Chain A
Amino acid sequence: MERIPILRMGEFLLVTIQVDMHDKLAMRLQDDLTDRISATSARGVLLDISALDMVDSFIGRMIADIASLSRLMDARVMVVGMQPAVAITLVELGLTLPGVSTALDVERGMQRLSQHVRRP
């Protein structure tokens, strides 16, 4: 069964989406991620979507959902590496992801995340 790997890096979790997202995969990712956050009591989640070159409203909402449910479990979500086309699509769909932090790449995202976690 296909699933998206969730890697642990210190007190953060790293999720890299490398395959085409479809709805089932997205649902499973949500389940897996919440399980992992509670198991590892992670403080932050890095969601790397640089390989994602197409989104629809469902995937857009999934990103927003992951952000809010992670926050409920006291983990900050940082979305990194969004492609221009994806950003434009999300804006046109009206999904502006308020409350989700963003960064250009994983390195900067990690830096920002640790800053946030140190100074809550």
Chain B
Amino acid sequence: MASLHGSTLEAIKHNHAQLLVQWVAALEANGATRNIKEQTLSQETRDFLQLLIDVLQADSGNDIVSSDWDEARRFLERLSASRAQLGHDSHQAAYFIFALKRPLFSLLQTHFSDDPARLAEQLWLISELLDTLGMHTIRTFQKTREAVIKRQQEELLELSTPVVKLWDGVLALPLIGTLDSQRSQTVMESLLQRIVDTGSEIAIIDITGVPTVDTLVAQHLLKTVTAIRLMGADCIISGVRPQIAQTIVHLGLDLGTLTTKANLADALKLALKRLGVNLGEQV
């Protein structure tokens, strides 16, 4: 691939300061500087332009996968990661590169005003180079975002299964959020494991925090209750809100084999009664 003409590089080096000013101005005009300190931005633009000039000077071609571009690539990866953490979208992250186009183009236009053929060639090279760099930024930006989303999903899954001990022999599982297959599997496993570990005879599943109960959720609940029964413990479902009770009846779901209670207090009372615990007149 043809490399940039020597005088292009000279022009860029010569007009270094002017380019930086125009670049920052373009970035600001496009809103790609949100939440970024002015000082940080000017540092970033200065560093990257210097890196770009260094690589171009080494005359290593436009293939940014080659090792000569290592530092520039790493710089962009760091940049897009920091943009992702600041909550920018992919457009704003990539615009860091694309905003450099206009200042560079106008610079070349004046520089090669007497040689249109060379101007076109150089513009094409610069444009292609900046596009690749921009695409690289977007790609790493997306990777960073995906990593963040994956981590959050895992954390959510862990958060969602706290099995608490209410009494000797009574466990409670407050469910919060929608139950999908994967979650209900995790929930079921951790509850069953805790039953074995603690030797609890009664488990209360509280569904106050479950927004809706559809056929799938009901099926998951039934499965969990059956598994608990197979292990030799009893299960009480509590927190059946009026709307949920209505939905269940309207859907025609048969929860006949389940013991259900309107709230956790009632369920605990029933559990204590079954265990033969006497708390006096209050209970």
Segment from A12-20, A23-31, A33-41, A104-112 that makes contact with B: A104-112
> For chain A, which range describes its interface: under 10, 10 to 19, 20 to 34, or 35 or more residues?
20 to 34
Docked complex Cα distance between A83 and B233 (Å): 12
Cβ of B269 < 8 Å from any Cβ of A? no
Contacts of A86 in B (CB 8 A): 230
- Contact assessment for A96 and B226 in the assembled complex, using a CB-CB cutoff below 8 Å: yes
- Contact assessment for A79 and B227 in the assembled complex, using a CB-CB cutoff below 8 Å: no
Cβ of A90 < 8 Å from any Cβ of B? yes
Of the residues B223, B226, B227, B232, contact of A104 by C-beta under 8 Å: B232
Residues of B in contact (CB 8 Å), total: 18
Binary per-residue interface labels of chain B (224-258) against chain A in the complex, 1 for a CB within 8 Å, 0 otherwise: 00111111110000000000000000000000000
Contacts of B196 in A (CB 8 A): 83-84, 104
Minimal Cβ-Cβ distance residue in B for A105: B199
Binary per-residue interface labels of chain A (70-92) against chain B in the complex, 1 for a CB within 8 Å, 0 otherwise: 00000000011111101110111
Cβ of B192 < 8 Å from any Cβ of A? yes
Contacts of A108 in B (CB 8 A): 201, 232
Cβ of A103 < 8 Å from any Cβ of B? yes
- Contact assessment for B232 and A102 in the assembled complex, using a CB-CB cutoff below 8 Å: yes
A69 to chain B, nearest CB (A): 19
A98 to chain B, nearest CB (A): 9
Minimal Cβ-Cβ distance residue in A for B229: A102
List B residues 46-73 near A (Cβ within 8 Å).
none
Docked complex Cα distance between A84 and B201 (Å): 14
A77 to chain B, nearest CB (A): 12
Contacts of B199 in A (CB 8 A): 104-105
Q: A83-B196, A104-B201, A105-B199 are in contact. Are A91 and B223 (CB under 8 A)?
A: yes
- Contact assessment for A102 and B231 in the assembled complex, using a CB-CB cutoff below 8 Å: yes
Binary per-residue interface labels of chain B (213-229) against chain A in the complex, 1 for a CB within 8 Å, 0 otherwise: 00000000001001111
Q: A84-B189, A88-B192 are in contact. Are A103 and B232 (CB under 8 A)?
A: yes
Cβ of A97 < 8 Å from any Cβ of B? yes
A103 to chain B, nearest CB (A): 4
The 7 closest A-B pairs by CB, nearest first: A84-B192, A102-B232, A103-B232, A87-B227, A87-B230, A104-B232, A82-B231
Q: Given contacts A105-B232, A108-B232, list 7 more A-B pairs with CB under 8 A.
A: A80-B232, A84-B231, A88-B227, A91-B226, A96-B226, A96-B230, A105-B199
14 contacts between A and B (CB under 8 A): A79-B232, A80-B232, A83-B196, A84-B189, A84-B192, A84-B195, A84-B227, A90-B230, A91-B230, A102-B230, A103-B232, A104-B232, A104-B233, A109-B232
